[in-house]
Structure formats: structure tokens, C-alpha cells
Amino acid sequence: MSHRFSEYRYQNGDLWVEQVRLKDLAQAYGTPLYVYSLSAIEGQIQRLQKGLAPLNHLICYAVKANSNINLLRKIVDNGCGLDLVSGGELFRAHRIKAPAEKIVFSGVGKTATEIKMALSYQGTGIKSLHVESVEEARLINQLASELKLQASICVRFNPNVDPKTHPYISTGLHSNKFGLNREEILDLAEEMKELKHLKWHGLSIHIGSQILELSPFEQAYLDVLKLAHDLRQKYSLPINCLDLGGGVGVPYRQGEVAPSIEDYTALICRLFEKEPFQILIEPGRNLVANSGVLLTRVLYRKPRPLKDFLVVDASMAELIRPCLYEAYHDVWPLEEKQTKNEMKQTDIVGPVCESSDFLAQNRDFPISLSQGDFVAVMSAGAYGFSMSGQFNSRPRVAEILVSSTQAQVIRRRETFDDLTREEML
Ligand SMILES: *Cc1c(COP(=O)(O)O)cnc(C)c1O
């Protein structure tokens, strides 16, 4: 149908992913149900690797986009490292034995416990703790001293670049909580004489998410490159690694133009090919968003004069992006014939007791869709399951990974018992 979804297409009247019919999965495993295509994820990784081949590079997948350990293992098996933001994510890395030298850890609020976990990961400690404040640098130094080791760090630079994305996912402005500005970083460089247990070997940036133009990236890359050279020359710091972060957007709607992986990697190669730095990138959404769908079943139609409500069995508890950022997701019926029927303005809403519980609003949607029919909420592979919860005491849903003709359950559906397991009477 569209190149946005390399592995999703209508065939003989039904929507398929790779060589599997989605209706068969909905019937076998129930709904709501997350389904991912391995081939779609591996395709994105291969395009990035091909584009960055001229550079000494490492792709560190941003685990928070979709943190299922089965997916993480496959992403690591494809040569990627991991970008983490919590001790829980470090535990996931440990569960799949992800190699220490390919792990970086970002985040403004790392606790002492998390820092110690990272410093002792696999005995050697991870490749880099990405420091986001002066106080954090001092704490890492102190903990490394107690553990009698050197902590390998990058410092996260906030380049004050406007990524022109939704304010809630913009991170590279001085008005955001992330990173340190140039003056703060130069002051930290002065203080390094006293921070003898820090091995400062790089800089990182990450200016936001779902960025649809390359120009903010270029500006931020030029700024971090200049700062890296200044730190090498004026402070003799052995900066040999630049982590350019993630944030490259993907098309969620038909006709939406996002940077191609080829243009994005060409920009990076143009700016860094002759530079003495290992280049890291931290893609999250770009690897997984359009690989996944959320399957859901129609429960009821509420006809209204101007706009119908279609109540489905998935909600903001399973996919919070529409509610949180008014994010747009295409919704496709699993039966192709529905797409040819008469349309009416429709809101697709969930069962949760919040008016913000919608998956799609004001869409032209087939009137023929009725109780028992299935639809696929498209582009749900990133920030879908990983942001899901149990609000309204809804057990978290199952996740399926499809590869060719095979479908594997990579997370079982939670039961009612799971809801109260940790509670005490
Ligand atoms: C969230 C995050 C990413 C990934 O962002 P995407 O938009 O999913 O590519 C990368 N790096 C850091 C530090 C992040 O917080």
C-alpha cells in the first residue's frame, strides 16, 4: 500500500504482515494485541549500517522505544548496542548479555544505585555514562573512587537547537532539563583535575524526538563538533567519541515527509568522515515504529448525527500517544473490502473512563465496520507497549513477533492475578 509499511499489505482481501494474516493472530491470541515484524526492524538497521559504513560507528538502539528483551536480543544480534535511561533497562541489557562495550546510559536523574550497576556491569562497566549535570559528574567520580575504578563518561551537551517537534518531546533547548550548556561544560573541564576517577572520552547530544527536518540535526552536529575540538585543544581532554543521539522522525500519515535514512546518514558522513571520532547514534522510533501494529476489535458503534463513536477494546492504557501528544496513527480495517465502503466522520475510542481515551479522532471511517470486526492501529511499534500500563485495572496485552511465516509470543498477556500480585490485603 505505502512504503511506510514495508511488511504490511492487503493480499487476497486481508491485511498481512510478512507471510502471516493479521486476522489469524487476532483470533488465535485475542485482542488488544501488539504485533511486530522482525524483517521491518532488521531492514531499518541494515539501511543505517550501510549509510554509516564509511565511519567508525556504533548504533545504540534507544531501549525505551520498545524494550521487550526478545526484540533487544535480535537488535543486538544485528550488531547494535543499546542506549539506556534506567536501571531497569540495564537489567534488561543484562538479561540478554548485551556486551558492555556497546552500552551507553543517558538520563538526568541517575541514582547512585543505577550508577554503581553501570560501573560494575560485566566487571568492566559500560562504554559510557552520559553525564547530564555537574553534581552527577561528582557523584560518579565518588562512586568510582569507592569501587576503585575509572568511570568512562561522555558529557551530554545541550546545544540550544529548536528541533521543531512537539514541545513534550523536544529536549535540546536551554529551556529543557537535559544536558549541560557550553559554559557549564567548560567549567566542568576546569574541574576535571579534581575528578580523578573520571575518564571523559566523549560528548553526547539528543535534541528531541520525531524530528522531520535535517537542519536542526546539522546545526547541533556542527555545535558539538566545535565543542569537541575545543575540549581537545584547550583542555587536552582525550575526546574520541561523539554520540549524536536519536530523534529522526518517521512518517505516521500518508504523505508525511520524514528524512530518509540515506539522507540522514549522508549528512553524518559529510560532517564527520574526516574527523577523528567514533560516531554513535541512538535511534529508537526509527527502528521500530513502523514495524508494529496494535490489533483491536470493535465492541460497539454509537451513531450520532455528525460523528459516530466506534468503541474498540484497545485504549489509552495500551497506546497513550494519541492522548499524550495528540499523536496521529492510521487505523486500517483488517478486511480490505471495508476500505471501499461508505465513510463517515468517526472517533475511534477505548473503554477507559477519560475523554482523552481516543486512538483516532475525526476520521473518515467505513460505516460498515461493526461489532466483532478487527482493525490495526498502524505505526505502533515505538512508544506503544513500552508506555502502556494497567490504568482502569487492564492487564497488559500480549506481544507477538512475526518473522516470515512464523509468529512467536514474546510477551504473554497478563492475567487478572497479575494485577494484584504485588498488593497486600
Ligand atoms: C528517547 C531517546 C532516544 C531515542 O529517541 P527516538 O526519537 O526514539 O529516536 C535517544 N537518545 C536519548 C538520550 C533518548 O532519551
Locate the DSSP E strands across 282-425. 292-302, 308-312, 331-333, 343-349, 358-366, 374-377, 398-403, 406-411
**146 φ/ψ angles, rounded to the nearest 5 degrees:** -60, -35
Between the CA of 286 and the centroid of ligand 1 the distance, in Å, is 10
Is the CB of residue 13 less than 8 Å from the CB of residue 336?
Answer: yes
Q: To test ligand 1's pocket by mutation, which of 71, 282, 387 has the most ligand atoms within 8 angstroms of CB?
A: 282
d(CA 245, CA 207): 7
CA–CA gap between residue 301 and residue 423 (Å, rounded): 36
Residues in the chain: 425
Which ligand 1 atom lies nearest to the CA of residue 285?
8
250 within ligand 1 shell (Cβ under 6 A): no
Residue whose C-alpha is closest to residue 31's, from 20, 39, 23, 21: 23
H or E stretch including 136?
helix 134-146
pLDDT computed for residue 1 by the predictor = 36
The preferred substitution site among 58, 60, 64 for testing ligand 1, maximizing ligand atoms within 8 Å of CB, is: 64
Contact partners, residue 291, CB within 8 Å, separation at least 6: 7, 36, 37, 38, 40, 41, 44, 381
Give distance in angstroms: CA of 334 to centre of ligand 1: 31
Q: What's the CA gap between 12 and 253, in Å, rounded?
A: 24
Q: What is the pLDDT of residue 2?
A: 41
Between strands 8-11 and 14-17, the pairing is antiparallel
* Cα 285 to averaged position of ligand 1 atoms, centre (Å): 8
pTM of the complete model:
0.97
Q: Which of 60, 154, 241, 353 is catalytic?
A: 353
Residue 249: CB within 6 Å of ligand 1?
A: no
Decide: 319 and 294 in contact? Cβ < 8 Å: yes
Rounded to whole angstroms, the maximal C-alpha distance in the chain is 72
Residue nearest to atom 10 of ligand 1 (CA): 246
Ligand 1 near 85 CB (within 6 A): yes
| Residue 208 CB less than 6 A away from ligand 1 | no
Is 64's C-beta closer than 6 angstroms to any atom of ligand 1?
A: yes
- Per-residue tens of pLDDT for the chain, all 425 residues: 347 999 999 999 999 999 999 999 999 999 999 999 999 999 999 999 999 999 999 999 999 999 999 999 999 999 999 999 999 999 999 999 999 999 999 999 999 999 999 999 999 999 999 999 999 999 999 999 999 999 999 999 999 999 888 888 788 888 888 999 999 999 999 999 999 999 999 999 999 999 999 999 999 999 999 999 999 999 999 999 999 999 999 999 999 999 999 999 999 999 999 999 999 999 999 999 999 999 999 999 999 999 999 999 999 999 999 999 999 999 999 999 999 999 999 999 999 998 899 999 999 999 999 999 999 999 999 999 999 999 999 999 999 999 999 999 999 999 999 999 999 99
The answer for residues whose C-beta is within 8 angstroms of residue 265's C-beta and 6 or more apart is 47, 48, 50, 51, 52
CA distance 380 to 328: 10
Within 13 Å of residue 291, how many CA atoms lie on the same side as its CB? Answer: 27
Residue 269 catalytic?
no
* Cβ of 282 less than 6 Å from ligand 1: yes
